[in-house]
Amino acid sequence: MAEYARRIEAEAFAIERVALACKEDVAAEVSVSAPPVIATSLIGPRLQLLKESYPHLRLRLLGESRTVSLPRREADIALRLTRPDDMSLVMRKVGTITYGLYASSEYLASRREEDFEFIAFDESLDDVPQQVWLKKLAGERPIVFRTNDLAIQCTAAQAHVGIAALPGFVGCSYGLQRADLQKASISRDVWLTFHRDLRDNFAVASVAGFLADCLRPERTENQTAA
């Protein structure tokens, strides 16, 4: 019975996707899942442009770190920092986010490099690439503050607590200075993906184009000198 129920559920989600795909205009709601840092810093500030271009389109933007299920319609479009492996999805690389080490200028001016302390995610995010990279650079030097939220890391760095691994555009927006430890950086590709059933839908295509524009290189790179 459970197997039959799973098949019925899968067919129900497929009917929903086909119903959305059949709509020929942008008078629809499109749901987008994106990492919080992308949703807040890169998409949010440009929403007025989307509204001006498509005034009848309704957007639901979910800032979340988890990997949503597109086949189950937890979202219509997802931005991810890892390449999806589900062959039912359309996917394309739309940008690259470069992480560097950032701290307040006061903190960097008051300490020698060997005395640096670090700000990191908590243990629930120990496996993300920028966390692994930060811990490798820190070596024996202490991690003095942990949190599960990037914005809290930024405010801790502003408060002179230590050095955090941040996207360049985020570090600059908080007025932080680049710490050139071995001129270190790490990059993560951003993938835009949606179910192949929606590839001909005008509303989904319009939102996908808008999202790709939000991830253009000049928006994701460090804009000020360290």
pLDDT (tens digit, 9 = 90+) per residue, 121-158? Answer: 999 889 999 999 999 999 999 999 999 999 999 999 99
Q: Give domain status of residue 50, yes or no.
A: yes
Q: Give domain status of residue 134, yes or no.
A: yes
Q: Give domain status of residue 226, yes or no.
A: no
Return the pLDDT at 223.
46
Q: Give domain status of residue 225, yes or no.
A: no
Q: What end-to-end distance do the CA atoms of the chain give, in Å?
A: 61
Q: Do 196 and 183 reside in the same domain of the chain? A: no
Report which listed range, 139-143, 177-181, 183-187, is most confident: 139-143
Q: Do 10 and 72 reside in the same domain of the chain? A: yes
Q: Do 59 and 113 reside in the same domain of the chain? A: no
Q: Give domain status of residue 131, yes or no.
A: yes
d(CA 199, CA 95): 20
CATH code of the domain containing 165: 3.40.190.10
Q: Residue 6: pLDDT band by 50, 70, 90 thresholds?
A: low
Q: Do 182 and 193 reside in the same domain of the chain? A: no
Domain range enclosing 165: 97-187
Q: Residue 207: pLDDT band by 50, 70, 90 thresholds?
A: very high
Proportion of the chain in helix, strand, coil states, percent, rounded to 5: 40, 25, 35
Q: Any alpha helices (H) in the chain, and if so which ranges?
A: 2-21, 36-38, 47-53, 105-110, 129-138, 150-158, 168-173, 202-214, 217-220
- % residues pLDDT > 90 (the chain): 67
Q: Do 115 and 173 reside in the same domain of the chain? A: yes
**pTM, 2 dp:** 0.80
- The number of distinct structural domains making up the chain is 2
Q: Do 13 and 83 reside in the same domain of the chain? A: yes
Q: Do 74 and 36 reside in the same domain of the chain? A: yes
Asked whether the predicted pLDDT for residue 224 surpasses 90, the reply is: no
Tokens read off for 203: 């509303």
Asked whether the predicted pLDDT for residue 181 surpasses 90, the reply is: no
Q: Do 86 and 193 reside in the same domain of the chain? A: yes
